[in-house]
Amino acid sequence: MKGHERDSISTGKAPWKSPVALSVALHVLVLGIAMAGWSWAERPPEPKPNVISARLISPEPKPSPVVDDKERQQEKRAEEERKRQQEQKRLEAERQAQAEARKREEERKRQEAEEARKRAEQKAREEAAKRKAEAEAKERERQRLEEKRRQEEAEAKRKAEEEKRRQEEAERKRREEEARKEAERKRLEAERRLREEQLQALAEQARQEQEAEERRRREAEAARAREKQMLSESEKYRGLIQKRVIDAWYIPSSATEDMVARLQINLLPTGELVGVKILESSGNAAFDNSALAAVRSVNRYPVPESRDTFERYFRQFTIEFNPRRL
């Protein structure tokens, strides 16, 4: 019901014109009509007339008592229905009056609550304004004190910086004097060290020249020893290679002892054959081809582990094929 009252108030219509009030009135009217119809529909059945046997005594006719009772019962029922309807209307009027009273009471309470809310909001606004004013006053005081503190700190900082500059100036002059004296001392010390270094440089130069000469002598000896070792190693592996090739050489029947074929062989550090070509032909194709076949038939040539020895003697070398030198 309160919700309906709020709807009627918020829309600006009179309470009795609201949809809820019209709906209630319509329901009451329908209920009244239904009750009235039910009363007429539920009318008790009329009693059957009693059959009375009588003899005519008087010649004048009299009204039948059965007809009078029926009319009286109908009038009684009509009176009771009228009273019932009047009572129903009275009760309905009382209900409507009570509903209206409740609406007025609820509206009064709502208005009082609204007034209380407005007073509370007004009080809250006043208190908020008061707190804001107090906070602003405190903030102004804080800013004043903060400004005063900054000014005092700035003044103290200025004095401290001024004192610091004075001390730094004095310190600068003192350091300059010390630097001048130190520079003079260093100059004299540098001149002394320069004379000593010159003497040491001459002695070091003589020592280095002597050491260089000794190093060159040792390197030459090492080179000669290495060359000798490489030569010895190369002769060893050349002999192994010569044996492998000769073992694989099948001399053709047309060969003579005077035939010589010189071949150039190229190897990899792994001993694999890269290529072979004839530098000097024997003049006999079968002889030359047999020499080439012998070189190519060796799967892997024996080569020294030393890379220097290999590069110098076995990366590329020549070999001669002559039946007389077997």
Tens of pLDDT, residue by residue, the chain (326 residues): 444 444 444 445 555 556 666 777 777 776 776 665 544 344 555 555 554 454 545 555 555 555 578 899 999 999 999 999 999 999 999 999 999 999 999 999 999 999 999 999 999 999 999 999 999 999 999 999 999 999 999 999 999 999 999 999 999 999 999 999 999 999 999 999 999 999 999 999 999 998 898 889 888 887 788 788 888 899 999 999 999 999 999 999 999 999 999 999 999 999 999 999 999 999 999 999 999 999 999 999 999 999 999 999 999 999 999 998 76
Q: What is the pTM of this model?
A: 0.35
| Helix/strand/coil for 13 | coil
Quote the strand ranges of the chain, DSSP E.
261-267, 273-280, 316-321
Tell me the C-alpha distance between 191 and 216, whole Å. Answer: 36
Contact between 273 and 296 (Cβ < 8 Å): yes
> CA 40 to CA 193: how far, in whole Å?
147
What is the C-alpha separation between 278 and 290, in angstroms, rounded? 12
* CATH (one of 3.30.1150.10, 3.40.190.10, 3.30.565.10, 3.30.710.10) for 249-325: 3.30.1150.10
